[in-house]
Amino acid sequence: MQRTITGTTGPGRAAGRTARTGPPRRTDARRPQPGAAARHRERERVTRYWFAERLLLALSGQRPVHWMIGHTLADAYERLAALAQGTPLRPPPPGRAPFVWRCDEFRPRPGVIEAFARIASGDRVQALAFRLEQGPDERWRCAAVELGGDRA
At 61-118, the pLDDT tens digits run 899 999 999 999 999 999 899 888 888 888 777 777 889 999 999 999 999 999 999 9
- Residues 6 or more apart whose Cβ sits within 8 Å of residue 79: 145, 151, 152
Q: Give the DSSP H or E segment for 119.
A: strand 112-121
What is the pLDDT averaged over residues 13-24?
58
pLDDT tens digits, one per residue of 122-133: 788 899 999 999
Structural contact between residues 55 and 131, judged by C-beta atoms closer than 8 angstroms:
no
Indicate whether 34 pLDDT > 90.
no
- Asked if residues 103 and 115 have their Cβ atoms less than 8 Å apart, the reply is yes
Question: Residue 143 contacts by C-beta under 8 Å, 6 or more apart in sequence?
Answer: 72, 73, 75, 76, 131, 132, 133
Q: What is the pLDDT of residue 134?
A: 96
pTM: 0.71
Q: How confident is the model at residue 141 (pLDDT cuts 50, 70, 90)?
A: very high
